Chain A
Amino acid sequence: MLVKREIGAVELLQAVLRRIDEVEDRVRAYITVTREEALQQAREADRMLSRGEVASPLVGIPVALKDNLCTIGVRTTCASKILYNFVPPYDATVVRRLRDAGAVLVGKTNMDEFAMGSSTENSAFFPTRNPWDLGRVPGGSSGGSAAAVAAGEAVMALGSDTGGSIRQPAAFCGVVGLKPTYGAVSRYGLVAFASSLDQIGPITRDVEDCALLLRAIAGHDPLDTTSARFEVPDYASSLEDGLRGFRVGVPREYAGEGIDAGVRDVLMRVIGLLEEMGAVVEETTLPHTPYALPCYYLIAPAEASSNLARYDGVRYGYRTRDAEDVVDMFMKTRSEGFGPEVKRRIMLGTYALSAGYYDAYYLKALKVRTLIKGDFDRAFEDYDVLLAPTSPTPAFRLGEKTADPLQMYLSDVCTLAVNLAGIPAISVPGGLADGLPVGVQFIGRPFAEGMLLRVAYCVERRVGTFMAPLARDPAAAGCAYHGSGGDTAGRGKDG
């Protein structure tokens, strides 16, 4: 639409900014909105478009960035007190790639502190609310990004996913979210949480946008030694290839007990649609699934305890006012600067790695990780993709799961194993349950993002895209949607 000059980049951005003005007081998706910089970028985009210079389909597109992505000159807080005033002197690689593509960077979105959480309630600043029901969470940890896209406060967004933090909020907010294969997208400039699990990925209104955004950010980066060398396909060009003969496996461990009835209904309906489109859908098994949660909650905190050791008040961020000596400074700075969930995970991780416990906990978890990955490798010998719910329930209420950390961790059961195995997965809206969006998750072999986008596209063609009541009518009080069935909103890139 922008290329055809039906609407200018500045116009588009202004529509997005107007929407932010209308709903942000209720949604609170953003920590920082970079209005002036965005307008400058939009003007530049319009100049490029009028000269016919269209380097990328992202020219002039307003994109929101999770606040754990370093942006030069723009405060990057990771939703933590300890980085409340941190202004990075460099851009993350994905941010640089978006700038080079001519995208317009709208601002930095809210998240669970240091990406630790599943509801965005762990933000040190404020919780973000779900545009579908303001009394409910948007999911986490990329809750701000998902809510912004769902509310029309950005056209696209980037999030990060360590245990489900892109896919679960996408599911809760009725939008598309993809976690790429580990190594497919550079982590340079992503504030590290768990280095062997973290990946940056797109959160968008529809599958085509997801394909376009993924292409812009994926690919080897010499600045990230864990990034893979591979040829980045034109993901958007193979979306319409269809599903005839496609083999889909549904792991029974993800479809039984513990899954909400409404979620299971949506899953069954999607299975029916896949079969109508010519795919073969069968039950399969990933026997080590019950061990994914304990495995993750040893590995991720262990890596986090190491990564978060750098927050000591020396070179940047918060430093305690009165300290007797440097060790006292470290302890007070960290105790005052970190929230409870972060402290919990640092201690858990420190314990798992400490002498005497390393073998019993961390090393054991690494071995179980091999078994979990093995389950997927075996499943992919028989199936092209696997299908599962993204989350056992739709979005829960704020405060519902904050009393017991383990309860919160359990909401990630459908997403964690994917990060442990390093494989890609996408969440796409499959339907509604009691008026709330339900996401279904397709899981693929390493570097099979193209296949995942293709099957997600097919599902989207049948079920449509979903628009939150708040996005359809920003003046609405934002109470729960009391309709039945899905809403099909067009896939135009209008603000």
Chain B
Amino acid sequence: MEEVRERAISLPRLGEPAPAFEAATTHGVLRLEDFKGGWLIIFSHPADFTPVCTTEFIAFAEIYPELQKRGVELLGLSVDSVSSHIAWVRNIEEKTGVKIPFPVIADLSKEVSLAYGMIHPGQSKTETVRCVFIIDPNQIVRTILYYPLTTGRNMDEILRIVDALQTTDKNAVATPANWRPGDMVVVPPPNTQEMAEERVKQGYECVDWYLCKKKL
């Protein structure tokens, strides 16, 4: 218990390298480095053959083609065995017709779960909570989402974050609240008074010098 608490403190942080791992999955043994050069979403679920997780797996499978268009791979995780994962994904396909196309880590030793801070003893001492880690092609953690055991994740928001991160990287801009692809983006605020004065002349849509938006 103490060990779980101790290690849970050292969770990954935004802007830092994602913890390396080698793990047994439904697609064989995979390492974090196997995904280098592309975006990766690692997500954990509490347990196989449970209702909310099943709806989430179906939903992740449904957005997988959209993620692939954006160069993103998916990697699931729970502390169940490979056999349990295989039985569950086969059951999902049999009962719903949805094929689960992405690998799922069988983290029986909890090595990966602890490295990523996926076990929150206040929620469950034995299961992973619903985490989402969005990792960029340089294997830097760019987004972390945590959901409680009782709340299924929002796939739309996950896709929106990927779009926002990729837009930010490509154009050196930021995205405002509730941004969607095609909306105006936020121009980084100026660092000097001179730049602030120039900013208002540049044809951006400005509320004031520190909040200017533009179309891409």
B is bound to A:
no
Query: Which A residues lie at the B interface, using CB under 8 A?
Result: none
Query: Which B residues lie at the A interface, using CB under 8 A?
Result: none
